[in-house]
A and B are shown apart, each in its own frame.
Chain A
Amino acid sequence: MSAAETVASSVRKGVPAITLAGVNKWFGALHVLRDVNLEVAMGERVVVCGPSGSGKSTLIRCINRLEEHQEGQIIVDGKELSNDIRSLDAIRREVGMVFQSFNLFPHLTILENCTLAPIWVRKMPKKEAEALAMEYLERVRIPEQAGKYPGQLSGGQQQRVAIARALCMKPKIMLFDEPTSALDPEMIKEVLDTMVMLAETGMTMICVTHEMGFARTVADRVVFMDRGEIVEQGVPEELFANPRTDRLKTFLSQILRGH
């Protein structure tokens, strides 16, 4: 099966949630994204993996324009990313993001962290926003922490709050940028469990992670990147069992040795 056929088979139906066509990006002289083409269907769960410095984080940060691409097209939920501020705002409202370093707002309580965007972006009444926030805090299983400040929570709890905060905007697409890389092993599990639960609700997800177990359980497709380009992609079992390129073979052996 060629790469193109793999992509075609994994795209389920309807409009794609995200389309990247011929995307190129440079940091100064460094060519960090090389002619990236990727299509993600609504409801699809994609895991992006690859050695560090391969451009995976840059790739998903381009999707909500935390980084600007310099060439090619990125279309999110039917809207093209451009310099138009209005389309950017519209896209960011539909795309939630979870960061490696949580990035909770330390001067606001957990509840205020979750209600901030619904109140100021979705123009939601405070009561309604708080009810919504409690619902999602319940879902990530930390409603009892609502009145505390981020500095009073453990790393795993903070990351679950970050997921709840993003979900409070009711996004159509969720981006995860190495969400478990800054966590202790026992906390990794609680965050991954939350993400698995989210995947089961049918959320469109793109997740940069080294957690191959997670990729195996939830991913519809795994994309392997190296040196700024997509080298291989496919259904997780197949990709992990029969890597076709040497680069993926090397990467997989390093990951497995690490575990």
Chain B
Amino acid sequence: MSGASLDPRLLRKAPPRPLRFSWSDERFRNIVYQVLVVAAVLSVFGWLWSNTRYNLEVRRIATGWGFLSREAGLPIGEHLIDYDPSMTYFRALLVGVLNTLKVAIIGIVLATILGTLLGIARLSKNWMLARFAGAYVEIVRDLPLLLQLLFWYSLLQGLPGPRQAFNPVTGVFLSNRGLKLPYIQWESAHSWTLLAVVVGAVLTWFYRRTVRAKQMQDGQIRSIWPAALLLMVGLPLLVWAALGAPFTIDVPELRGFNFRGGLDVSPEFFALLLGLTLYTAGFIAEIVRAGILAVSQGQWEAAEALGLSRRRVMNLIVLPQAMRVIIPPMTSQFLNITKNSSLAVAIGYQDIVSIANTTLNQTGQAIEGIAIIMLVYLTISLSISLFMNWYNKRIALVER
């Protein structure tokens, strides 16, 4: 039982199993099968490769990546970086990648928040809340995503024009040209303020650590919220005030037939984000619910019997255990959002698939176009998977 024993018998390891070159040896058989499968796969790929090369040559189709540095001449409505049609295909594809990342990242964050709230709501003792969350989940995950995207897009298209736009709050307009929001005219002072928020958040994290360490020293449980508020709101305000407190709001205005100024959310992006978020949130809600339910009632009872409040039981006992059930399927949902964002093609949002498609049509280099799309999705998806697997390993349970 005790691990500290120095008995040499405990140090003995299982002897390696010898390999017999006989068809009746299981290990030998397995190795032969594996070699055969790898050889078959390699020869299929080799055949595809030579076949493609031969056909491209016969049809005199240009190959290679030279087109990337040629002028794209393709207009793109929304771009996070500077872009106009006189720039290269490479630049255009980069804009597409950034558009995909934009909708995927915002979608992942929003769907996680909404899904978690819905999942907890479905477990609530409040009858109304639980039923609402249940109905939401059932409706949203039973309808195809493409249908939902078309629904939201046509709903947005059906909105009145700019002149009759919905104007719920001053400066906010919802019309068939999308959503217009007021936006602060960006100056360097604002960048510094934003930096102060980040610094404040980092300091809060350190503060939380020292407070926890102090609690372990003297037992007193301290609230971190006053300090967190001071660091994350007070500090940025101070920086902003010190730099002269510049503040000019750019309010969208109706000029002629369209809006001028303000932050512009296109109907395409808005519909895609709405569709992806609402759809995936339904799945995430179920994952969160299952994760919480997977923690046995006995854990709640044992923790409550020790005198811990329900909030502490949730934070210290239930959520840490639920996480290990939640993370793997959650990873799949994050990958789904990323990949489903390619349905953007259907409603005209210019993501990587849309732009690579146009590139492919204009240059005729189908293989390169498809390869770029596959490479982009593979890179994004593998990055998400690697991060989530690392996190999952960190919180795994020790069993033996």
Residues of A in contact with B (beta carbons under 8 Å apart): 64, 66, 89, 92-93, 95-97, 99, 101, 103-107, 116-117, 119-128, 144, 149, 151-152, 162, 165-166, 169
Contact = CB atoms under 8 A, between A and B. Distances in A.
B158 interface: no
Contacts of B299: 103, 105
Given A103-B301, A119-B219, A127-B216, 8 more contacts: A89-B309, A92-B304, A92-B305, A107-B320, A121-B308, A152-B399, A166-B306, A169-B306
Contacts of B215: 119, 126
B8 interface: no
B220 interface: yes
B305 A64 contact: yes
Interface residues of B, number: 30
| Chain A contact surface mostly | mixed
B125 to A, nearest CB: 13
A6 B359 CA distance: 94
B307 interface: yes
A124 B216 CA distance: 8
Q: Which of A116, A122, A152 has the most CB of B within 10 A?
A: A116
Interface of B: 2, 215-221, 296, 298-299, 301-309, 312, 316-317, 320-321, 395, 397-400
A169 B2 CA distance: 28
A127 B307 CA distance: 20
14 contacts: A66-B301, A89-B309, A97-B302, A105-B302, A105-B321, A123-B220, A125-B219, A126-B216, A126-B219, A149-B398, A149-B399, A151-B397, A162-B302, A169-B306
Contacts of A117: 306-308
B321 A107 contact: yes
A177 to B, nearest CB: 10
Residue from B299, B305, B308 whose CB has the most chain A CB atoms within 10 Å: B305
B219 A96 contact: no
Contact of A99 (B219, B298, B309, B397): B298
Given A107-B321, A151-B398, A97 B305 contact: yes
Contacts of B307: 89, 92-93, 117, 121, 169
Nearest to B323: A107
A88 to B, nearest CB: 9
